[in-house]
């Protein structure tokens, strides 16, 4: 389990961290005393629970929680405060819990035992893919880096096709448009596919890509994906859709129109 803890008061943050460490010694814990640092971290990492002080100077914990929920709808938010006047706001956000200060080990343990969204144990070799909003890939909670934009877009399109085998011609048409008939794009695609396999192999997920007779696809059983969960009608997947689908790719807008129409019914 990965947990973040945040409080702009250093002493209060240290008390919170100690309580979490005692209650969940096996958890990976990251702490912050600046709201902007939380948001910067959250852009490239996933986590299961966030203990947030509600009053953090120039940005409230409620505002931070709203943004975290947009990026990661399945995160459990537990507000920490010395005041109960914010309880109504916490419940409106469907927070997992609400802890009063001073925080104790018992308080933390009770919250973790009763999380609103249970933490699922996942095979470390599985990739976590986020399609809603911008397309991102995570390995063990860390954002996977792609050196080349076309390599990332190639993987995005294969994820979009959800296990269907895609021809090289289709991939070249999607990735290079009118230039797809250029002989050079054959070489570009070959290099992009090789680069993708190298990146995934280093991440321990090389078996995600399937190739056969000039075609390639993804093994969907090796991927945890919000889009796939949405199609399967899983609550987390349905809640994750925020009106955008692979927003950085123009070809994703066609699918997004279908998703928007479906979600509005």
**121 domain-assigned:** no
User: Do residues 105 and 24 both lie within one domain?
Assistant: yes
* Burial readout 218-253 (b: 16 or more C-beta within 10 A, e: otherwise): bebebbbbbbbbbeeeeeebebbbeebbbbebeebe
| Full residue range of the structural domain in which residue 34 is found | 2-113
Confidence of residue 207 (pLDDT cuts 50, 70, 90): confident
Q: What is the pLDDT of residues 9-60, one digit of tens each?
A: 999 999 999 999 999 888 889 999 999 999 988 887 888 999 999 888 788 8
pLDDT, residue 16, reads 94
Cβ burial of 105 (10 Å; 0-12, 13-18, 19+) is middle
User: Do residues 155 and 87 both lie within one domain?
Assistant: no
User: Do residues 178 and 246 both lie within one domain?
Assistant: yes
User: Do residues 100 and 223 both lie within one domain?
Assistant: no
Structural domain total, the chain: 2
Residue 114: alpha-carbon gap to chain centroid? 22
């Amino acid at each position: 389990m990965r947990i973040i803890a945040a409080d702009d008061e250093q002493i209060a943050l240290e008390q919170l961290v100690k309580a979490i460490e005692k209650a969940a010694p096996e958890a990976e814990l990251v702490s912050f005393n600046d709201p902007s640092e939380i948001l910067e971290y959250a852009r490239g990492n996933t986590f299961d629970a966030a203990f947030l002080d509600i009053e953090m100077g120039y940005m409230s914990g409620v505002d931070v929680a709203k943004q975290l929920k947009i990026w990661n709808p399945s995160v459990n938010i537990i507000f920490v405060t010395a005041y109960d006047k914010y309880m109504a706001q916490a419940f409106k956000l469907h927070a997992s819990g609400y802890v009063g200060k001073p925080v104790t080990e018992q308080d933390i343990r009770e919250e973790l035992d009763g999380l609103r969204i249970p933490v699922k144990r996942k095979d470390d070799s599985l990739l976590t893919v986020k399609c809603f909003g911008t397309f991102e890939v995570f390995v063990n909670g860390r954002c996977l880096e792609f050196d080349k934009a076309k390599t990332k877009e190639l993987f995005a399109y294969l994820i979009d096709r959800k296990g269907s085998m895609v021809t090289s011609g289709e991939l070249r048409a999607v990735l290079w448009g009118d230039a797809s008939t250029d002989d050079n794009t054959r070489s570009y695609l070959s290099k992009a596919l090789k680069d993708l396999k190298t990146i995934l192999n280093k991440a321990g997920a090389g078996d995600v890509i399937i190739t056969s007779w000039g075609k390639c696809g993804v093994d969907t059983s090796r991927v945890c994906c919000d889009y796939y969960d949405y199609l399967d009608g899983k609550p987390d997947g349905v809640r994750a859709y925020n009106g955008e689908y692979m927003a950085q790719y123009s070809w994703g807008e066609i699918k997004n129109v279908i998703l928007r129409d479906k979600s509005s019914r």
